[in-house]
Structure 1
Amino acid sequence: MGFPGTWMTESESMIYRVVPKCACSTIGQIMYYSDHGTFFDGDIHDAKTGLHKWARDDSQSVIRANVKMGSAYAFTCVRNPYTRVLSSFFDKICGIQRNGKRYRGNLVPLLTQKYGIEVGGSDGTGDFDQIRSFRRFLLFVRDTIRWRRPMDPDIHWSAVSGHVSTFIVNGGRYDNIFWTERFNEGMSSVLDKIDTPHPVDLEAIPRFNESEGHGPKRLHPVEDYFDDLSMHLVYEIYKRDFELFRYDFENPANKLPVGEIDLDEVHAKLGD
Protein backbone atom coordinates (compact mmCIF):
# COMPACT_ATOMS: atom_id res chain seq x y z
CA MET A 1 0.00 0.00 0.00
CA GLY A 2 1.58 3.25 -1.14
CA PHE A 3 0.63 6.90 -1.26
CA PRO A 4 2.66 8.51 -4.04
CA GLY A 5 2.49 12.28 -4.26
CA THR A 6 1.34 12.62 -0.65
CA TRP A 7 2.68 15.30 1.72
CA MET A 8 1.91 15.70 5.41
CA THR A 9 2.83 18.32 7.99
CA GLU A 10 5.27 17.13 10.64
CA SER A 11 2.67 18.03 13.26
CA GLU A 12 0.31 15.64 11.40
CA SER A 13 -2.38 18.31 11.26
CA MET A 14 -3.09 17.84 7.55
CA ILE A 15 -2.27 15.47 4.73
CA TYR A 16 -2.36 16.51 1.09
CA ARG A 17 -2.37 14.59 -2.18
CA VAL A 18 -0.31 16.72 -4.56
CA VAL A 19 -1.81 17.31 -8.01
CA PRO A 20 0.63 19.01 -10.41
CA LYS A 21 -0.49 22.33 -11.90
CA CYS A 22 -3.11 22.78 -9.15
CA ALA A 23 -1.55 25.33 -6.77
CA CYS A 24 0.67 22.64 -5.24
CA SER A 25 3.61 25.00 -4.57
CA THR A 26 1.41 27.41 -2.62
CA ILE A 27 -0.30 24.61 -0.68
CA GLY A 28 3.05 23.04 0.21
CA GLN A 29 4.36 26.37 1.46
CA ILE A 30 1.23 26.93 3.55
CA MET A 31 1.67 23.50 5.13
CA TYR A 32 5.33 24.24 5.84
CA TYR A 33 4.50 27.64 7.30
CA SER A 34 1.73 26.24 9.50
CA ASP A 35 4.32 24.06 11.25
CA HIS A 36 7.37 26.32 11.30
CA GLY A 37 6.12 29.91 11.12
CA THR A 38 8.28 30.58 8.08
CA PHE A 39 8.28 29.61 4.42
CA PHE A 40 10.72 27.16 2.89
CA ASP A 41 13.55 29.06 1.21
CA GLY A 42 13.24 27.77 -2.36
CA ASP A 43 10.87 25.57 -4.32
CA ILE A 44 8.89 23.51 -1.79
CA HIS A 45 9.23 20.50 -4.12
CA ASP A 46 12.95 20.51 -3.28
CA ALA A 47 12.44 20.48 0.52
CA LYS A 48 14.10 17.46 2.10
CA THR A 49 13.10 18.36 5.67
CA GLY A 50 10.27 20.17 7.42
CA LEU A 51 7.49 18.31 5.59
CA HIS A 52 6.73 14.61 5.37
CA LYS A 53 6.71 13.40 1.77
CA TRP A 54 6.00 9.94 0.43
CA ALA A 55 9.13 10.27 -1.75
CA ARG A 56 11.20 10.35 1.47
CA ASP A 57 11.78 6.83 2.78
CA ASP A 58 11.74 8.04 6.38
CA SER A 59 8.29 9.59 5.90
CA GLN A 60 6.47 6.60 4.44
CA SER A 61 5.70 4.74 7.66
CA VAL A 62 4.41 7.93 9.30
CA ILE A 63 2.18 8.77 6.33
CA ARG A 64 0.92 5.21 6.02
CA ALA A 65 0.02 5.00 9.71
CA ASN A 66 -1.73 8.34 9.60
CA VAL A 67 -3.82 7.46 6.55
CA LYS A 68 -4.82 4.18 8.20
CA MET A 69 -5.96 5.98 11.35
CA GLY A 70 -7.48 8.89 9.44
CA SER A 71 -6.20 11.30 12.06
CA ALA A 72 -4.85 14.09 9.84
CA TYR A 73 -7.27 16.20 7.80
CA ALA A 74 -6.94 14.85 4.24
CA PHE A 75 -7.49 17.06 1.22
CA THR A 76 -6.51 17.83 -2.34
CA CYS A 77 -7.04 20.60 -4.89
CA VAL A 78 -8.25 20.30 -8.50
CA ARG A 79 -8.27 22.54 -11.58
CA ASN A 80 -10.22 23.13 -14.77
CA PRO A 81 -8.90 20.71 -17.46
CA TYR A 82 -8.80 23.43 -20.14
CA THR A 83 -6.60 25.85 -18.20
CA ARG A 84 -4.49 23.08 -16.68
CA VAL A 85 -3.44 21.47 -19.98
CA LEU A 86 -2.86 24.93 -21.48
CA SER A 87 -0.64 25.85 -18.52
CA SER A 88 1.29 22.59 -18.93
CA PHE A 89 1.98 23.45 -22.56
CA PHE A 90 3.37 26.92 -21.86
CA ASP A 91 5.33 25.85 -18.78
CA LYS A 92 6.70 22.42 -19.63
CA ILE A 93 6.83 22.45 -23.43
CA CYS A 94 7.51 26.08 -24.37
CA GLY A 95 9.37 27.11 -21.24
CA ILE A 96 12.96 26.86 -20.06
CA GLN A 97 13.00 25.18 -16.65
CA ARG A 98 14.68 26.56 -13.55
CA ASN A 99 17.75 24.41 -14.25
CA GLY A 100 18.22 26.39 -17.50
CA LYS A 101 17.26 23.43 -19.69
CA ARG A 102 14.26 22.16 -21.58
CA TYR A 103 11.84 19.92 -19.70
CA ARG A 104 12.74 16.23 -19.97
CA GLY A 105 15.72 16.81 -22.24
CA ASN A 106 14.83 15.50 -25.68
CA LEU A 107 11.06 15.89 -25.33
CA VAL A 108 10.76 19.15 -27.29
CA PRO A 109 12.85 17.91 -30.26
CA LEU A 110 10.65 14.81 -30.31
CA LEU A 111 7.50 16.94 -30.42
CA THR A 112 8.95 19.15 -33.13
CA GLN A 113 9.84 16.14 -35.26
CA LYS A 114 6.75 13.98 -34.75
CA TYR A 115 4.01 16.57 -34.26
CA GLY A 116 5.35 19.74 -35.88
CA ILE A 117 5.11 21.69 -32.64
CA GLU A 118 6.91 25.04 -32.42
CA VAL A 119 8.03 26.51 -29.09
CA GLY A 120 9.56 29.88 -29.91
CA GLY A 121 13.10 28.78 -30.71
CA SER A 122 15.88 27.55 -28.46
CA ASP A 123 15.14 30.04 -25.69
CA GLY A 124 11.35 30.22 -26.04
CA THR A 125 11.32 33.92 -26.91
CA GLY A 126 10.68 33.71 -30.66
CA ASP A 127 7.34 34.23 -32.36
CA PHE A 128 5.31 31.16 -33.22
CA ASP A 129 1.69 30.20 -33.79
CA GLN A 130 0.64 29.36 -30.23
CA ILE A 131 -2.81 28.10 -31.14
CA ARG A 132 -1.63 25.73 -33.87
CA SER A 133 1.21 24.35 -31.74
CA PHE A 134 -1.01 23.88 -28.70
CA ARG A 135 -3.58 21.94 -30.70
CA ARG A 136 -0.85 19.66 -31.97
CA PHE A 137 0.35 19.26 -28.37
CA LEU A 138 -3.14 18.02 -27.49
CA LEU A 139 -2.74 15.21 -30.04
CA PHE A 140 0.49 14.23 -28.31
CA VAL A 141 -1.21 14.33 -24.89
CA ARG A 142 -4.00 12.09 -26.19
CA ASP A 143 -1.45 9.65 -27.63
CA THR A 144 0.47 9.42 -24.34
CA ILE A 145 -2.67 8.84 -22.28
CA ARG A 146 -4.57 6.51 -24.60
CA TRP A 147 -1.71 4.49 -26.09
CA ARG A 148 1.25 5.42 -23.85
CA ARG A 149 3.25 6.43 -26.90
CA PRO A 150 5.61 7.92 -27.85
CA MET A 151 6.02 7.97 -24.04
CA ASP A 152 4.05 7.40 -20.85
CA PRO A 153 1.81 10.32 -19.84
CA ASP A 154 3.53 12.99 -17.81
CA ILE A 155 2.24 13.92 -14.34
CA HIS A 156 1.66 17.52 -15.45
CA TRP A 157 -0.94 16.62 -18.08
CA SER A 158 -2.26 13.25 -16.93
CA ALA A 159 -5.82 13.51 -15.59
CA VAL A 160 -6.40 15.06 -12.18
CA SER A 161 -8.74 12.18 -11.32
CA GLY A 162 -5.87 9.76 -11.83
CA HIS A 163 -3.74 11.57 -9.25
CA VAL A 164 -6.64 11.90 -6.84
CA SER A 165 -7.58 8.22 -7.15
CA THR A 166 -4.31 6.70 -5.87
CA PHE A 167 -4.98 7.99 -2.36
CA ILE A 168 -8.45 6.42 -2.38
CA VAL A 169 -7.50 3.11 -4.00
CA ASN A 170 -4.78 2.52 -1.42
CA GLY A 171 -7.04 3.09 1.56
CA GLY A 172 -7.26 6.85 2.10
CA ARG A 173 -10.33 9.03 2.32
CA TYR A 174 -10.51 12.75 1.57
CA ASP A 175 -12.16 15.12 3.98
CA ASN A 176 -12.09 17.90 1.42
CA ILE A 177 -11.51 18.50 -2.29
CA PHE A 178 -11.53 22.11 -3.43
CA TRP A 179 -10.97 24.10 -6.62
CA THR A 180 -7.85 26.05 -7.58
CA GLU A 181 -10.19 28.66 -9.03
CA ARG A 182 -11.62 29.34 -5.55
CA PHE A 183 -8.38 28.86 -3.72
CA ASN A 184 -8.79 31.09 -0.67
CA GLU A 185 -12.27 29.81 -0.02
CA GLY A 186 -11.13 26.20 -0.36
CA MET A 187 -7.92 26.49 1.66
CA SER A 188 -9.85 28.34 4.38
CA SER A 189 -12.25 25.40 4.58
CA VAL A 190 -9.24 23.18 5.34
CA LEU A 191 -7.57 25.47 7.87
CA ASP A 192 -10.87 26.09 9.68
CA LYS A 193 -11.05 22.38 10.49
CA ILE A 194 -7.60 21.99 12.06
CA ASP A 195 -5.31 23.39 14.72
CA THR A 196 -1.87 24.40 13.45
CA PRO A 197 1.24 25.29 15.49
CA HIS A 198 1.34 28.64 13.68
CA PRO A 199 -1.75 30.56 12.49
CA VAL A 200 -2.06 31.10 8.73
CA ASP A 201 -3.42 34.37 7.35
CA LEU A 202 -4.42 33.40 3.81
CA GLU A 203 -4.87 37.00 2.73
CA ALA A 204 -1.20 37.64 3.51
CA ILE A 205 0.16 34.46 1.90
CA PRO A 206 1.93 35.05 -1.44
CA ARG A 207 1.21 32.76 -4.38
CA PHE A 208 4.18 30.49 -4.99
CA ASN A 209 3.81 29.93 -8.72
CA GLU A 210 7.10 28.18 -9.38
CA SER A 211 6.33 27.78 -13.09
CA GLU A 212 5.60 31.46 -13.68
CA GLY A 213 7.94 33.01 -16.20
CA HIS A 214 9.21 29.67 -17.53
CA GLY A 215 7.51 30.04 -20.87
CA PRO A 216 6.24 32.65 -23.33
CA LYS A 217 3.27 34.80 -22.41
CA ARG A 218 -0.10 33.43 -23.52
CA LEU A 219 -1.30 35.77 -26.27
CA HIS A 220 -4.95 34.75 -26.57
CA PRO A 221 -7.96 34.05 -24.34
CA VAL A 222 -8.26 30.44 -23.19
CA GLU A 223 -11.22 29.70 -25.47
CA ASP A 224 -9.29 30.68 -28.62
CA TYR A 225 -7.01 27.66 -28.22
CA PHE A 226 -9.89 25.17 -28.36
CA ASP A 227 -11.84 24.56 -31.56
CA ASP A 228 -14.41 21.76 -31.86
CA LEU A 229 -11.76 19.09 -32.45
CA SER A 230 -9.63 20.32 -29.54
CA MET A 231 -12.66 20.29 -27.25
CA HIS A 232 -13.44 16.75 -28.35
CA LEU A 233 -9.88 15.68 -27.54
CA VAL A 234 -9.95 17.39 -24.16
CA TYR A 235 -13.22 15.66 -23.27
CA GLU A 236 -11.85 12.31 -24.42
CA ILE A 237 -8.80 12.77 -22.18
CA TYR A 238 -10.39 14.45 -19.14
CA LYS A 239 -14.01 13.26 -19.11
CA ARG A 240 -13.88 12.12 -15.47
CA ASP A 241 -12.30 15.41 -14.38
CA PHE A 242 -15.14 17.42 -15.92
CA GLU A 243 -17.80 15.17 -14.42
CA LEU A 244 -16.44 14.58 -10.91
CA PHE A 245 -15.13 18.07 -10.25
CA ARG A 246 -18.05 19.85 -11.94
CA TYR A 247 -16.26 21.82 -14.61
CA ASP A 248 -17.94 23.25 -17.70
CA PHE A 249 -16.97 21.24 -20.78
CA GLU A 250 -19.23 23.23 -23.11
CA ASN A 251 -17.50 26.57 -22.48
CA PRO A 252 -13.68 26.74 -22.32
CA ALA A 253 -14.00 30.42 -21.38
CA ASN A 254 -15.64 29.49 -18.08
CA LYS A 255 -12.92 28.29 -15.75
CA LEU A 256 -15.22 28.15 -12.71
CA PRO A 257 -17.07 25.01 -11.57
CA VAL A 258 -20.79 24.74 -12.30
CA GLY A 259 -21.76 22.54 -9.33
CA GLU A 260 -20.58 21.17 -6.00
CA ILE A 261 -18.16 18.26 -5.67
CA ASP A 262 -19.82 15.17 -4.17
CA LEU A 263 -17.13 13.50 -2.03
CA ASP A 264 -19.08 10.24 -1.80
CA GLU A 265 -19.35 10.09 -5.59
CA VAL A 266 -15.61 10.79 -5.97
CA HIS A 267 -14.71 7.98 -3.56
CA ALA A 268 -17.15 5.56 -5.18
CA LYS A 269 -16.04 6.23 -8.77
CA LEU A 270 -12.28 6.55 -8.12
CA GLY A 271 -12.02 3.77 -5.57
CA ASP A 272 -12.42 0.90 -8.03
Structure 2
Amino acid sequence: MGFPGTWMTESESVVYRVVPKCACSTIGQIMYYSDHGAFFDGDIHDSTAGLHKWAQEDSQPLIEANVKAHASYAFTCVRNPYTRILSSFFDKICGIQRNGRRYRGNLVPLLIQKYGIEVGGEDGKQEFDQIASFRRFLLFARDTMRWRRPMEPDIHWSAMAGHVSTFIVNGGRYDNIFFTEKFNEGMQSVLDNIETKHAVDLAAIPRFNESEGHGPKRLHPVEDYFDDLSKHLVWEIYKKDFQLFKYDFDNPGNKMPLSEVDLDEVHAKLGE
Protein backbone atom coordinates (compact mmCIF):
# COMPACT_ATOMS: atom_id res chain seq x y z
CA MET A 1 0.00 0.00 0.00
CA GLY A 2 2.78 2.45 0.87
CA PHE A 3 1.96 6.11 1.50
CA PRO A 4 -0.52 7.39 -1.11
CA GLY A 5 -1.15 11.13 -1.05
CA THR A 6 2.09 11.82 0.80
CA TRP A 7 4.38 14.71 -0.21
CA MET A 8 7.85 15.50 1.13
CA THR A 9 10.25 18.37 0.48
CA GLU A 10 13.39 17.41 -1.48
CA SER A 11 15.45 18.50 1.51
CA GLU A 12 13.34 16.08 3.62
CA SER A 13 12.61 18.90 6.06
CA VAL A 14 8.94 17.93 6.36
CA VAL A 15 6.38 15.29 5.32
CA TYR A 16 2.75 16.08 4.52
CA ARG A 17 -0.25 13.80 3.97
CA VAL A 18 -2.52 15.56 1.46
CA VAL A 19 -6.22 15.73 2.31
CA PRO A 20 -8.16 17.06 -0.71
CA LYS A 21 -10.11 20.31 -0.23
CA CYS A 22 -8.07 21.21 2.88
CA ALA A 23 -5.70 23.97 1.69
CA CYS A 24 -3.49 21.38 -0.05
CA SER A 25 -2.55 23.73 -2.93
CA THR A 26 -1.26 26.39 -0.54
CA ILE A 27 0.55 23.86 1.66
CA GLY A 28 2.25 22.27 -1.35
CA GLN A 29 3.40 25.66 -2.61
CA ILE A 30 4.77 26.59 0.83
CA MET A 31 6.73 23.32 0.93
CA TYR A 32 8.06 23.96 -2.59
CA TYR A 33 9.00 27.55 -1.70
CA SER A 34 10.76 26.51 1.51
CA ASP A 35 13.21 24.45 -0.58
CA HIS A 36 13.55 26.58 -3.72
CA GLY A 37 12.83 30.19 -2.71
CA ALA A 38 10.17 30.44 -5.42
CA PHE A 39 6.69 29.06 -6.02
CA PHE A 40 5.93 26.39 -8.59
CA ASP A 41 4.64 28.03 -11.75
CA GLY A 42 1.20 26.47 -12.08
CA ASP A 43 -0.95 24.18 -9.96
CA ILE A 44 1.33 22.39 -7.49
CA HIS A 45 -0.67 19.20 -8.12
CA ASP A 46 0.79 19.20 -11.65
CA SER A 47 4.44 19.43 -10.54
CA THR A 48 6.64 16.44 -11.38
CA ALA A 49 9.90 17.79 -9.92
CA GLY A 50 10.98 19.92 -6.98
CA LEU A 51 8.77 18.10 -4.48
CA HIS A 52 8.71 14.42 -3.63
CA LYS A 53 5.28 12.85 -4.14
CA TRP A 54 4.17 9.26 -3.65
CA ALA A 55 2.65 9.37 -7.15
CA GLN A 56 6.18 9.84 -8.57
CA GLU A 57 7.86 6.45 -8.62
CA ASP A 58 11.36 7.78 -7.88
CA SER A 59 10.07 9.46 -4.72
CA GLN A 60 8.50 6.33 -3.22
CA PRO A 61 11.57 4.70 -1.62
CA LEU A 62 12.67 8.05 -0.16
CA ILE A 63 9.24 8.80 1.31
CA GLU A 64 8.84 5.26 2.64
CA ALA A 65 12.25 5.23 4.35
CA ASN A 66 11.67 8.65 5.89
CA VAL A 67 8.15 7.99 7.15
CA LYS A 68 8.90 4.56 8.61
CA ALA A 69 11.91 5.96 10.48
CA HIS A 70 9.92 9.09 11.44
CA ALA A 71 12.98 11.00 10.25
CA SER A 72 11.09 14.24 9.56
CA TYR A 73 8.27 16.23 11.10
CA ALA A 74 4.97 14.92 9.67
CA PHE A 75 1.66 16.76 9.50
CA THR A 76 -1.70 17.07 7.79
CA CYS A 77 -4.54 19.58 7.67
CA VAL A 78 -8.30 19.02 8.06
CA ARG A 79 -11.47 21.04 7.45
CA ASN A 80 -15.06 21.24 8.64
CA PRO A 81 -16.97 18.40 6.88
CA TYR A 82 -19.97 20.65 6.12
CA THR A 83 -17.93 23.30 4.29
CA ARG A 84 -15.68 20.70 2.67
CA ILE A 85 -18.51 18.80 0.97
CA LEU A 86 -20.18 22.09 -0.04
CA SER A 87 -16.92 23.29 -1.58
CA SER A 88 -16.58 19.99 -3.46
CA PHE A 89 -20.07 20.40 -4.89
CA PHE A 90 -19.53 23.93 -6.20
CA ASP A 91 -16.02 23.25 -7.49
CA LYS A 92 -16.20 19.71 -8.88
CA ILE A 93 -19.86 19.26 -9.78
CA CYS A 94 -21.01 22.75 -10.79
CA GLY A 95 -17.68 24.11 -12.00
CA ILE A 96 -15.73 23.94 -15.23
CA GLN A 97 -12.25 22.54 -14.52
CA ARG A 98 -8.79 23.84 -15.49
CA ASN A 99 -8.90 21.87 -18.74
CA GLY A 100 -12.11 23.65 -19.78
CA ARG A 101 -14.22 20.54 -19.27
CA ARG A 102 -16.47 19.06 -16.64
CA TYR A 103 -14.88 17.11 -13.80
CA ARG A 104 -14.49 13.39 -14.59
CA GLY A 105 -16.19 13.60 -17.97
CA ASN A 106 -19.44 11.66 -17.64
CA LEU A 107 -19.91 12.27 -13.89
CA VAL A 108 -22.11 15.37 -14.17
CA PRO A 109 -24.41 13.98 -16.91
CA LEU A 110 -24.82 10.86 -14.74
CA LEU A 111 -25.82 13.00 -11.74
CA ILE A 112 -28.26 15.03 -13.82
CA GLN A 113 -29.85 11.84 -15.13
CA LYS A 114 -29.88 9.64 -12.01
CA TYR A 115 -30.22 12.18 -9.20
CA GLY A 116 -31.95 15.15 -10.87
CA ILE A 117 -29.13 17.53 -10.03
CA GLU A 118 -28.88 20.92 -11.76
CA VAL A 119 -25.50 22.60 -12.23
CA GLY A 120 -26.26 25.95 -13.85
CA GLY A 121 -26.27 24.92 -17.49
CA GLU A 122 -23.36 24.20 -19.83
CA ASP A 123 -21.11 26.91 -18.41
CA GLY A 124 -22.30 26.70 -14.78
CA LYS A 125 -23.39 30.35 -14.89
CA GLN A 126 -27.15 30.05 -15.13
CA GLU A 127 -29.37 30.28 -12.06
CA PHE A 128 -30.51 27.06 -10.42
CA ASP A 129 -31.78 25.87 -7.05
CA GLN A 130 -28.47 25.40 -5.27
CA ILE A 131 -29.95 23.97 -2.08
CA ALA A 132 -32.10 21.30 -3.78
CA SER A 133 -29.26 20.27 -6.09
CA PHE A 134 -26.70 20.11 -3.31
CA ARG A 135 -28.96 17.87 -1.21
CA ARG A 136 -29.35 15.50 -4.15
CA PHE A 137 -25.58 15.48 -4.62
CA LEU A 138 -25.23 14.57 -0.94
CA LEU A 139 -27.41 11.52 -1.57
CA PHE A 140 -25.08 10.52 -4.42
CA ALA A 141 -21.98 11.05 -2.23
CA ARG A 142 -23.52 8.82 0.46
CA ASP A 143 -24.33 6.11 -2.11
CA THR A 144 -20.72 6.06 -3.34
CA MET A 145 -19.39 5.87 0.21
CA ARG A 146 -21.87 3.28 1.47
CA TRP A 147 -22.32 1.00 -1.52
CA ARG A 148 -19.60 2.16 -3.95
CA ARG A 149 -22.40 2.75 -6.47
CA PRO A 150 -22.90 4.21 -9.02
CA MET A 151 -19.11 4.60 -8.75
CA GLU A 152 -16.20 4.47 -6.30
CA PRO A 153 -16.02 7.36 -3.80
CA ASP A 154 -14.13 10.41 -5.07
CA ILE A 155 -11.10 11.65 -3.09
CA HIS A 156 -12.52 15.18 -2.89
CA TRP A 157 -15.52 14.17 -0.81
CA SER A 158 -14.49 10.87 0.75
CA ALA A 159 -14.00 11.10 4.51
CA MET A 160 -10.87 12.82 5.81
CA ALA A 161 -10.37 10.01 8.31
CA GLY A 162 -9.82 7.63 5.39
CA HIS A 163 -7.08 9.81 3.90
CA VAL A 164 -5.43 10.44 7.26
CA SER A 165 -5.53 6.76 8.28
CA THR A 166 -3.47 5.27 5.41
CA PHE A 167 -0.41 7.13 6.69
CA ILE A 168 -0.85 5.65 10.19
CA VAL A 169 -1.82 2.12 9.17
CA ASN A 170 1.29 1.79 7.02
CA GLY A 171 3.69 2.87 9.71
CA GLY A 172 3.65 6.67 9.86
CA ARG A 173 3.01 8.99 12.79
CA TYR A 174 1.77 12.58 12.71
CA ASP A 175 3.40 15.30 14.77
CA ASN A 176 0.69 17.82 13.97
CA ILE A 177 -2.86 17.92 12.59
CA PHE A 178 -4.14 21.46 12.22
CA PHE A 179 -7.28 23.16 10.90
CA THR A 180 -7.86 24.90 7.56
CA GLU A 181 -10.00 27.36 9.54
CA LYS A 182 -6.93 28.38 11.57
CA PHE A 183 -4.51 28.06 8.69
CA ASN A 184 -1.83 30.63 9.54
CA GLU A 185 -1.67 29.54 13.16
CA GLY A 186 -1.45 25.85 12.21
CA MET A 187 1.04 26.25 9.36
CA GLN A 188 3.23 28.46 11.58
CA SER A 189 3.29 25.69 14.19
CA VAL A 190 4.71 23.38 11.50
CA LEU A 191 7.30 25.92 10.31
CA ASP A 192 8.40 26.54 13.92
CA ASN A 193 9.34 22.86 14.17
CA ILE A 194 11.36 22.45 10.98
CA GLU A 195 14.51 23.86 9.36
CA THR A 196 13.86 25.36 5.91
CA LYS A 197 16.35 26.49 3.26
CA HIS A 198 14.28 29.61 2.65
CA ALA A 199 12.37 31.51 5.30
CA VAL A 200 8.59 31.48 4.85
CA ASP A 201 6.60 34.58 5.82
CA LEU A 202 3.03 33.32 6.02
CA ALA A 203 1.58 36.84 6.02
CA ALA A 204 3.11 37.39 2.59
CA ILE A 205 2.14 34.04 1.05
CA PRO A 206 -0.73 34.18 -1.45
CA ARG A 207 -3.57 31.67 -1.08
CA PHE A 208 -3.30 29.13 -3.88
CA ASN A 209 -6.96 28.23 -4.04
CA GLU A 210 -6.94 26.31 -7.30
CA SER A 211 -10.67 25.68 -7.17
CA GLU A 212 -11.62 29.35 -6.72
CA GLY A 213 -13.75 30.59 -9.57
CA HIS A 214 -14.37 27.16 -11.09
CA GLY A 215 -18.02 27.10 -10.15
CA PRO A 216 -20.96 29.33 -9.26
CA LYS A 217 -20.80 31.41 -6.10
CA ARG A 218 -22.52 29.99 -3.03
CA LEU A 219 -25.64 32.12 -2.52
CA HIS A 220 -26.74 31.04 0.95
CA PRO A 221 -25.22 30.57 4.42
CA VAL A 222 -23.77 27.10 5.00
CA GLU A 223 -26.53 26.07 7.42
CA ASP A 224 -29.27 26.67 4.80
CA TYR A 225 -28.00 23.75 2.72
CA PHE A 226 -28.43 21.21 5.54
CA ASP A 227 -31.89 20.20 6.71
CA ASP A 228 -32.48 17.27 9.08
CA LEU A 229 -32.16 14.65 6.34
CA SER A 230 -28.97 16.25 4.98
CA LYS A 231 -27.46 16.31 8.46
CA HIS A 232 -28.34 12.63 8.86
CA LEU A 233 -26.52 11.83 5.58
CA VAL A 234 -23.53 13.95 6.60
CA TRP A 235 -23.29 12.07 9.92
CA GLU A 236 -23.51 8.74 8.08
CA ILE A 237 -20.59 9.74 5.83
CA TYR A 238 -18.43 11.85 8.15
CA LYS A 239 -19.12 10.62 11.70
CA LYS A 240 -15.44 9.84 12.33
CA ASP A 241 -14.36 13.20 10.90
CA PHE A 242 -16.56 15.10 13.36
CA GLN A 243 -15.47 12.97 16.30
CA LEU A 244 -11.72 12.82 15.65
CA PHE A 245 -11.20 16.32 14.32
CA LYS A 246 -13.51 17.98 16.85
CA TYR A 247 -15.96 19.77 14.56
CA ASP A 248 -19.46 20.86 15.55
CA PHE A 249 -21.99 18.46 14.02
CA ASP A 250 -25.02 20.07 15.69
CA ASN A 251 -24.46 23.49 14.14
CA PRO A 252 -23.53 23.54 10.43
CA GLY A 253 -23.19 27.33 10.74
CA ASN A 254 -20.21 26.96 13.10
CA LYS A 255 -17.24 26.14 10.91
CA MET A 256 -14.70 26.35 13.76
CA PRO A 257 -13.49 23.26 15.64
CA LEU A 258 -14.65 22.85 19.23
CA SER A 259 -11.20 21.86 20.54
CA GLU A 260 -7.73 20.85 19.38
CA VAL A 261 -7.12 17.44 17.78
CA ASP A 262 -6.02 14.72 20.20
CA LEU A 263 -3.16 13.09 18.27
CA ASP A 264 -3.04 10.03 20.52
CA GLU A 265 -6.75 9.42 19.94
CA VAL A 266 -6.33 9.80 16.16
CA HIS A 267 -3.45 7.30 16.07
CA ALA A 268 -5.32 4.84 18.30
CA LYS A 269 -8.63 5.01 16.39
CA LEU A 270 -7.23 5.16 12.86
CA GLY A 271 -4.36 2.76 13.40
CA GLU A 272 -6.59 -0.25 14.08
TM-score, normalised to structure 2, is: 0.99
Deviations 1:228-258 (A, max 9, x none): 1101110110000000000000000000000
How far did 1:211 drift? Answer: 0.3
Instruction: Confirm whether residue 194 of structure 1 aligns to residue 194 of structure 2.
Output: yes
AA matched with 2:89: F
TM-score, normalised to structure 1, is: 0.99
1:41 aligns to what SS in structure 2? Answer: coil
How far did 1:81 drift? Answer: 0.2
Q: Which residue of 2 aligns with 1:104?
A: 104
Distance 1:80 1:215 in 2: 20
Distance 2:108 2:242 in 1: 28
Deviations 1:37-74 (A, max 9, x none): 00000000000000000000000000001011111110
2:259 aligns to what SS in structure 1? Answer: coil
* Residue pairs, 1:118-137, within 5 angstroms: 118-137=118-137
Instruction: Confirm whether residue 266 of structure 1 aligns to residue 266 of structure 2.
Output: yes
Q: Which residue of 2 aligns with 1:117?
A: 117
2:127 aligns to what SS in structure 1? Answer: coil
Distance 1:265 1:258 in 2: 16
1:16 aligns to what SS in structure 2? Answer: strand
Q: Which residue of 2 aligns with 1:17?
A: 17
Q: Which residue of 1 aligns with 2:63?
A: 63
Distance 1:259 1:53 in 2: 31
How far did 1:178 drift? Answer: 0.3
Q: For structure 1, which runs of at least 5 residues remain unmatched after alignment?
A: none
How far did 1:260 drift? Answer: 1.6
How far did 1:80 drift? Answer: 0.2
Q: Which residue of 2 aligns with 1:93?
A: 93
2:74 aligns to what SS in structure 1? Answer: strand
Q: Which residue of 2 aligns with 1:241?
A: 241
Distance 1:238 1:136 in 2: 17
* Residue pairs, 1:134-173, within 5 angstroms: 134-173=134-173
Distance 1:12 1:260 in 2: 27
Distance 1:213 1:241 in 2: 27
Distance 2:68 2:165 in 1: 16
Distance 2:151 2:69 in 1: 37
2:104 aligns to what SS in structure 1? Answer: coil
**Pairwise CA RMSD of aligned residues?**
0.5
Distance 2:207 2:113 in 1: 36
2:75 aligns to what SS in structure 1? Answer: strand
2:114 aligns to what SS in structure 1? Answer: helix
Distance 1:258 1:175 in 2: 20
Distance 1:2 1:120 in 2: 40
Distance 1:124 1:130 in 2: 11
AA matched with 2:13: S
The number of residues matched between the two structures is 272
Distance 1:258 1:198 in 2: 34
Q: Which residue of 2 aligns with 1:185?
A: 185
Instruction: Confirm whether residue 4 of structure 1 aligns to residue 4 of structure 2.
Output: yes
Deviations 1:90-142 (A, max 9, x none): 00000000000000000000000000000000110111000000000000000
Identity of aligned residues (%): 82
AA matched with 1:16: Y
1:237 aligns to what SS in structure 2? Answer: helix
AA matched with 2:217: K
Distance 2:76 2:260 in 1: 15
* Residue pairs, 1:35-54, within 5 angstroms: 35-54=35-54
AA matched with 1:146: R
4+ residue runs over 6 A deviation: none
